[in-house]
Structure 1
Amino acid sequence: MKRGFTLIELVVTIAVSGIFFTLAMHLYTQAVKGQLAFTKKDAAYMQRSVDIALTKKMLQEHPGKCIDRKYALDSDTETHPLIQNLKCKELKRGRIVVYGNQGTWVVKH
């Protein structure tokens, strides 16, 4: 009675383990790519939320008026990039609708 493994048994074992390793690496790389894509989307969503909050705050702190369908600040404060190029439309009762890249706001005066 011989002890040990034959060469064919070893080759088959290594081939099967290589197939499993290849499948595992493929699934791992797909998971890593998915996580990176999710992280980028989450960061972009978070930055957009921060920009919206900052724009709302600046519109409340620095009132302005609608001139030729463009929103102009009343004060001489330095224009923030988030408030530049905002379009607007005047409504009844002293309200102004302001349109921007981040959304739409109604400003009351």
Structure 2
Amino acid sequence: MKKLLLFLFISIMSLSDYYGAIAINRDTGATGYSYDYSSQSSAERAALNYCGQNCEVAIWYKNTCAAVAYSYQNGTYGWAWGSDARSNERKALANCTGNDCQVVSSVCTTRYY
């Protein structure tokens, strides 16, 4: 019994967290995203790299999904995170201040709740 409990404890502890991020350029609406990275900082760096110049991290997430909506009219954006991608998209649109907001990125890590 002790061996089984030890095995279960080690198995649970070995489950890795998966990080992701979405970066955005407020001037153009260009985005870059990452998922399944081993740390927040590496996920953010990857998203910024994929986004290009003049980008900022809009949101980072761990073991879940995230979405970003962008207004091309005024350069604002809204974001949301959670386990349901469609719900995140609706929330990101609701959090975006502009009449022309569109979902520009929606992504999940492999392991999400």
Name the larger-Rg structure.
1
Normalization by structure 2: what TM-score? 0.26
Bigger relative contact order, structure 1 or 2, given CA contacts below 8 A and separation 6+? 2
| Structure 1 length-normalised TM | 0.27
Which protein has the bigger strand share? Answer: 2
